[in-house]
Amino acid sequence: MIRTLAVLIAMATSSLPAADAARVILLGTGTPIPDPCCSGPAVAVVANNLAYLFDAGPGVVRRAEAAAEKFGIAALDATRLTRLFFTHLHSDHTLGLADLILTPWILERPTPLTLYGPRGLRAMSDHLVAAYADDIRVRTTGGEPKHQYDPRLVTVHEIEPGAIYRDDRVTVTAFAVSHGAWEQAFGYRFQTPDRTIVISGDTGPASHIEDQCRRCDVLVHEVYSDAGFAKRPPEWQAYHARYHTSARQLGAIAARAQPKLLVLYHQLIWSSTEEELLKEVRSTYDGKVESAHDLEVF
């Protein structure tokens, strides 16, 4: 009885989702810096046995396979990766797109990929498919067993802010964020009956993320270390301040947004440390916060 009560209390206070609720899996927490710890930015949300990917940094397909194996999540098998939402078209977030178009196709994925994202995504997808014309020709006519479809068939939706995707249990809403010179950059709000998850993408501090979160279950947000920033050359400081969000700024945003859990990703730490980064966030925020690593689930 006491144990049951303890379990119930633990369940009530834990920010971990119930077994069948939407789960956030950090496939890649990296940045353009090719640190071997961290695959390129890519977040998977798994709900109702379906995978919804947000961004495709380098390594995305292998990390999805690793997560499928580590957590026993069949929806992250490469052949089941069919929906992808791009926050913006910076290379660190898109270098895995050719991989997602071609690798699951070779593995006999039954349906082509569907993409959502900013203007320019259609051209990027078309150019990638064109760049691999010889590979596709040799694979389709050179003796490989017959494939399920023509890999040049990629469905692309160039979106505007608003509810851009719906199925039985899921609504995905895109919202505009401010990311330096990018004309279009999006964050996403992912809603199921059980959970609301907000993903910032890359953003400066003035994107009103708190209006999208409002006590959401999980806020996955990019961040850079204030201490690391202080030691960067002035020209890079000007760039980072325009494109990204400092730890102290993020703490203030989270204090307004009040997520049940704040998850840091795309951490630019430079010469500082993860402990220092968390301290900086906590200097302006007293809620629950985790600094994510690749292949962690929230």
**Which residues of this protein are in contact with Zn ion, per CB under 5 A?**
90, 92, 202
Tell me how far, at minimum, the Cβ of 44 lies from Zn ion, in Å.
17
Pick the closer one to Zn ion by CB: 90 or 221.
90
Task: List the end-to-end C-alpha distance of the chain, in Å, as a whole number.
Answer: 28
Closer CB to Zn ion, 109 or 232, in the complex: 232
Question: DSSP 3-state assignment of 29?
Answer: coil
Report the nearest approach of Zn ion to the CB of residue 180 (Å): 8
Alpha-carbon dihedral angle through residues 106, 108, 109, 112, given to the nearest 10 degrees: 70
Identify which of residues 82 and 94 has a Cβ nearer to Zn ion in the complex. Answer: 94
Q: Are the beta carbons of 65 and 27 closer than 8 angstroms?
A: no
Nearer to Zn ion, 82 or 246 (CB): 246
To Zn ion, the closest distance from the beta carbon of 146 in angstroms equals 38
Among residues 159, 179, 200, which one has the least CA distance to residue 55? 200
Nearer to Zn ion, 202 or 217 (CB): 202
Please state the closest distance from residue 7 (CB atom) to Zn ion, in A: 40
Taking the C-alpha atoms of residue 237 and residue 235, their distance in angstroms, rounded to an integer, is 5
Whole-number Å distance between alpha carbons of 298 and 45: 10
Residue 166 CB, nearest approach to Zn ion (Å) = 27
Shortest Å distance, C-beta 120 to Zn ion: 13
- How far apart CA 258 and CA 85 sit, in angstroms, is 25
24 exposed, middle or buried (CB, 10 Å; 0-12, 13-18, 19+)? buried
**Residue with smaller CB distance to Zn ion, 245 or 272:** 245
Residues 153 and 128 sit within 8 Å (Cβ to Cβ): no
What's the CA angle centered on 206, arms 203 and 211, to 5 degrees?
95
